[in-house]
Structure 1
């Protein structure tokens, strides 16, 4: 600010305001205009920048039922009555967490998951191979496949 005022008082511009007048008459008005323009520009630019899709936030019915993992770490989701068991990899070890929600809710929320059985959703990126016509290998897991959903898995 003092550098700008020194330029204003230099022979190049030779301004007539004192520092206090210059600060209130010029700089405060310029700050108000600049902040308004910057806030409007920021609100539009935020809409243009895509949100991080890599992090999944899985929420259950209970307040404390929250799991945040990367999409690439999620292996599968299995039904466990009123809960779902989420299997994921963390530091090359298989982990699981029970969350109170339904398989249907997770399938609607995360549309990249494929249903291979009435009780199982898988992340297709962890599909390794078919064991036989009724089961598949995933990363560090094996799951059954029902005849109802095997066409969906073959299509992907």
Structure 2
């Protein structure tokens, strides 16, 4: 990796490490698995950075790594309780958008940018979450970081 590529990776990771960590905690709870997932993502990004930079959406490629690492760590962790109920009930992209928007309090534009999708797609995913959950759970979504 060239110096310019390394600098680009460092800037990308610096900007996204916090949101990735909050997403991991929202799904896995405040467990070592959440931190481990984020560190795995950073390592994976470093390993495939030159390829990711050439993709249509760098953010979408990186988000796929985040989702995969968090899901893998969730399967390996025991007793994660209700932390990831949305991912048990909804398709993964729909659940991701709901976690980012409702649990972490991100605006739709922020969630879209993090996931590497258009804001209209993020809005559609959030709407699908609202429609796909049992009525009793829709009220449980709540908005903001207090639910993470």
TM-score under structure 1 length normalisation: 0.27
TM-score under structure 2 length normalisation: 0.28
From the CA coordinates, give the structure whose radius of gyration is larger. 1
Which structure has the highest helix share of the two? 2
Which structure has the highest strand share of the two? 1
**Could you say which structure has the greater relative contact order, defined with CA pairs below 8 angstroms and 6 or more residues apart?**
2
